[in-house]
Chains A and B, each alone.
Chain A
């Protein structure tokens, strides 16, 4: 309590508040533009923080991180292109909601549940940082491999009507991610002897291509044929979800927040995996399963709660063990170090006050994010009034600039275009693109952890079946696949009997 009282004036200093809000604003802007990420915003913000003391500096970085995480939902919902990889699952239901004229509701819900997820994970962090960190390090390569394989099994739910098409898409994703330098052995793969391809296919570059290019092509094609690709936005109001809507989703929110916090605390996993797993569990346990993918609010709730719960989760290993879980937290680690705060077990003994100001800054950042987004929605939805063919060109320009800026590589722009054209062809063959993203997101971790586990066990497979935690996740994978097969058979039987009845009636 005493520490909190010491920390309070530090965190509520006008400079700190101002910088947190500024960071959140920058984060939201970067997060909501496809191709620009919060990692990029953090890199730009870092040198600005050199000039400030530790508390306002860290506050600004955290504001940027949190703003960016929530900002990704804006473009996912409004134009069907996720602003960040973590928001890829938000597209699934957020975009259909917007198309049916409920963009305001989807955006409003995303903001509210984002804050819920973030604050939930913050509470977990405050109460049990040490415990969670101890649990998280028990996830070794074998356990993470099992967890990621479980993530992969969500393809079953994302594949839509044809599981085969879903698997084709997932495999394309896995193949794309093998291009470049292999992280463990440092050898080039699928680079055709060139140096430039060593950089590999960046997840975000491929994702922007997959979502944006087909979208843009459809918009332009529809314009030519006189149709209307984008929905006409009437007066879209900022519509916060009603209390009843939230209460109906409370169990989804809590489960998703737990998934997000848990996965965030395991280094090397991160937001996209959490969002997809949360989305899948929401669909699996929902009474209106069929409505998922067509504009079910619970889908947006699940993925947005989970990806923001990752922020608090990821802070746990960062602060208590000094291990950054993803590129964004690695930049925050740099910021902490440069201001003399060395994360690790000693941080909680030597810098207690700073730790509490970090907690307060996270809370403050969520307040800022909710306020900015609440008033921002009115502004964001104006984008829907832009005629689709003009919007399409604008989206394309932003995507080219964004994909270039990720690594200052023009090759990435070509990759984005190439992957995008492939995505367009695939959608024509009714192959869904979301499993490709899943393959890209999970493939690298899955391969790395599998190989590291095999090196650890000196080539023996027992490392996978002697770990109870790994067995638990393998069991879940089997369960998911079994349910899928049984469900598919039942559906086919129903379909057959319907056809027969119909034939009977006609006779």
Chain B
């Protein structure tokens, strides 16, 4: 039923445009976009929400109408994606997306995939990190791998949830290190993995660097490596996993903006430019240092290519793990 209204709307829109063209009217809709507030659907709470609220605030300064961050959480992002996907492709409904567009689809929680959206711009990336307790005596990745291989016990690794991004990252990492069969993943909701590590209930945790840094400074945790190919600005002295022994590993989570498929290019470009200005502003850079993410603006075209290649990567990783539906 939803589709039929959408189809009707599209037909009406098409008729309207055809009529406008036949009458020789220039496209006023696109030229004046936005005429009303733009709604940015946010799929998750926590850091994702904080960044989105700041981004929306900064984008509003570069547009005649405000951008409003609206939270639609649930289903690992599926609820929010489904909402935006069902709205008109006019640029007034955009989504603060991430690799979750691939994980939610391949898990079978979402009947459509990234192709239902038009990319606008990538804004930032976040890189998971592997951490262990300082009293484990493991000061680098090789120490840990050696100890795990020598031990007859399994390594308990705290992650966010089965099938979550940190799970996929850990699986790829331990597979690369050749110890995949000696690892037990312990899923914790809501970012509790770091304290479970501190409390000695798990041996390692794969989470976001911001959750570990303060404990590393206080000397209780060691961050062994970050999963991107390059080191990250937040942790200049921490090697990448690639350097530390997991050669070829390169996993990062991106966040960006997308609109329903079929949104006119002129509107996408306006949103892309507003996003670019926001991402490059001093305030956003300040926030990136404080919150612990990396600003990584990419225009719509390149962002689109990245989504396609990452989707293939995630899909094959999930099939290996038996998580793909």
Cβ of A123 within 8 Å of any chain B Cβ, yes or no, is no
Cβ of B16 within 8 Å of any chain A Cβ, yes or no, is no
Q: Is the CB of B163 within 8 A of A343?
A: no
Cβ of A496 within 8 Å of any chain B Cβ, yes or no, is no
Q: Is the CB of B75 within 8 A of A198?
A: yes
Q: Is the CB of B214 within 8 A of A347?
A: yes
Given A50-B57, A338-B290, CB of A184 within 8 Å of CB of B187: yes
Q: Is the CB of B191 within 8 A of A327?
A: no
Cβ of B230 within 8 Å of any chain A Cβ, yes or no, is no
Q: Is the CB of B49 within 8 A of A334?
A: yes
Q: How far is the CB of A90 from chain B (nearest CB, A)?
A: 26
Q: Is the CB of A186 within 8 A of B214?
A: no
**Smallest CB gap from B188: residue in A:** A452
Q: Is the CB of A346 within 8 A of B214?
A: yes
- Size of the B side of the interface (Cβ < 8 Å), in residues, is 59
Q: Is the CB of A409 within 8 A of B75?
A: no
Q: Contact mask A36-64 → B, CB, 8 Å, 1/0?
A: 00000001001100100000000000000
Given A322-B194, A330-B46, CB of A138 within 8 Å of CB of B74: no
Interface of chain A residues 169 through 197 with chain B (CB within 8 A): 180-181, 183-188, 195-196
Bound CA span A407–B57, Å: 20
Bound CA span A186–B57, Å: 32
Chain A contacts of B188 at CB under 8 A? 452
Cβ of A456 within 8 Å of any chain B Cβ, yes or no, is yes
Interface of chain B residues 163 through 206 with chain A (CB within 8 A): 163-164, 184-192, 194-196, 198-199, 201-202
Cβ of B316 within 8 Å of any chain A Cβ, yes or no, is no
Chain B contacts of A331 at CB under 8 A? 45, 49-50
Q: Is the CB of B73 within 8 A of A407?
A: yes
Chain A contacts of B211 at CB under 8 A? 322
Cβ of B210 within 8 Å of any chain A Cβ, yes or no, is yes
Q: Which of B45, B195, B291 contacts A327 (CB 8 A)?
A: B45
Q: Which of B47, B76, B187, B194 contacts A452 (CB 8 A)?
A: B187
Q: How far is the CB of B218 from chain A (nearest CB, A)?
A: 4
Q: Is the CB of B49 within 8 A of A456?
A: no
Q: Is the CB of A317 within 8 A of B195?
A: yes
| Binding-face segment, B105-113, B134-142, B261-269 | B105-113
Chain B contacts of A409 at CB under 8 A? 72, 79
Bound CA span A493–B198, Å: 53
Q: Contact mask A423-438 → B, CB, 8 Å, 1/0?
A: 0000000000000000
Q: Is the CB of A338 within 8 A of B291?
A: yes
Cβ of A68 within 8 Å of any chain B Cβ, yes or no, is no
Q: How far is the CB of A297 from chain B (nearest CB, A)?
A: 36
Q: How far is the CB of A209 from chain B (nearest CB, A)?
A: 18
Q: Is the CB of A196 within 8 A of B187?
A: no
Q: How far is the CB of A449 from chain B (nearest CB, A)?
A: 10
Given A138-B199, A334-B47, CB of A195 within 8 Å of CB of B78: yes
Q: How far is the CB of A199 from chain B (nearest CB, A)?
A: 3
Q: Contact mask A327-354 → B, CB, 8 Å, 1/0?
A: 1001101110111101111110100000
Q: Is the CB of B291 within 8 A of A188?
A: no
Cβ of A439 within 8 Å of any chain B Cβ, yes or no, is no
Q: How far is the CB of B24 from chain A (nearest CB, A)?
A: 40
Q: How far is the CB of A320 from chain B (nearest CB, A)?
A: 9
Q: Which of A195, A345, A448 contacts B75 (CB 8 A)?
A: A195
Q: Is the CB of B287 within 8 A of A338?
A: yes
Q: How far is the CB of A58 from chain B (nearest CB, A)?
A: 13
Bound CA span A456–B220, Å: 22
Query: Which residue of A200, A327, A337 has the most chain B CB atoms within 10 A of its CB atom?
Result: A337
Chain A contacts of B198 at CB under 8 A? 137, 321
Q: Contact mask B39-81 → A, CB, 8 Å, 1/0?
A: 0000001110110011011000000000000111111101100
Subset of 13 A-B contacts with CB under 8 Å:
A137-B198, A181-B74, A184-B187, A186-B163, A195-B110, A268-B192, A321-B195, A334-B46, A334-B50, A338-B291, A342-B213, A408-B71, A458-B184
